[in-house]
Amino acid sequence: AELDFTARYILDELGIEVEEPEADRLDKLIQKFGLVFPPTRVLSELARASLPQVSAADDPDAALMAWIDMEEQLFRRLERHVVADRIKNGFHSDEGTDVDGFMGFSKSVQNRRKKRAGLALEHHLEAVFSAHKVRFDREGETENRNKPDFLFPGQEEYRNPAFPAARLTMLGSKSTLKDRWRQVLSEAERITPKHLLTLEPGISENQTDEMRAKQLQLVLPQSLHSTYRESQRGWLMTLGNFVELVKERQQTE
């Protein structure tokens, strides 16, 4: 059976590999890369191009999840080929089996997965905002050289004391949170509340209560809201909600 993003996330956390149901199609899409990982932006663009029926303008939440899921499949399929080739060649040294080499390779695989996931999310959010024609800067600089992932309408307005703070918006982007959500609290002193988008399902009530207390609004694609408790859902924002908020603030400029 096909798995949705939430199921894939849980299986990945448990260390369970998932076989892709459309392996042949995925192989055709990535064959031009050979055994080399392309820049993350290139893979993100390929994921979106392979789903021409998906429209961020019509449904930003569904589009984001479809793009993320497709890119995840493309990346894992390419990774499978790269890892298989490396294992086939073996891990050898003058002293025999190169255990350190194997451990280092394994660690690099995990690090690549984590780094790519965060960048992919930012690339696809950028495509959503562009589809809705809202103005933004990616990593615009605020105080103390902080760089929020997305700043609306942009760095120039943020640095202009005459520009109303009520029309400024910031969005942090983290594919998974753990305890890292506190990092965004100091990224834009002029903006309250701050917004943070994540793909992590089922965050505890203790964590979301603390976010609310610190005036940090959590944003999740609509399909992930069902993984939260009923008492949390009324407070959560969808990506569509967030886009409409930004549009409203920019229309009053």
CA distances from 213 to 114, 154, 207 (A): 29, 26, 10
| Alpha-helical runs (H) found in the chain | 5-13, 23-30, 40-49, 60-89, 99-131, 155-159, 205-213, 230-233, 239-251
Is 219 strand, coil or helix?
Answer: strand
Helical (H) or strand (E) element with 151: strand 150-152
- Edge-to-edge, what's the strand order for the sheet holding 169-174? 137-138, 150-152, 169-174, 194-198, 216-219
Cα–Cα distance measured from residue 212 to residue 239, given in angstroms and rounded to the nearest whole number: 18
| Total Cβ atoms within 10 A of residue 148 | 26
Cα–Cα distance measured from residue 136 to residue 245, given in angstroms and rounded to the nearest whole number: 13
Exposed, middle or buried: residue 95 (CB in 10 Å: 0-12, 13-18, 19+)? exposed
**Active-site hit among 9, 158, 181, 228:** 158
Identity of the amino acid at 36 = V
Active site residue 228: no
Cα–Cα distance measured from residue 70 to residue 124, given in angstroms and rounded to the nearest whole number: 11
Cα–Cα distance measured from residue 156 to residue 223, given in angstroms and rounded to the nearest whole number: 35
Q: Tell me the catalytic residues.
A: 158
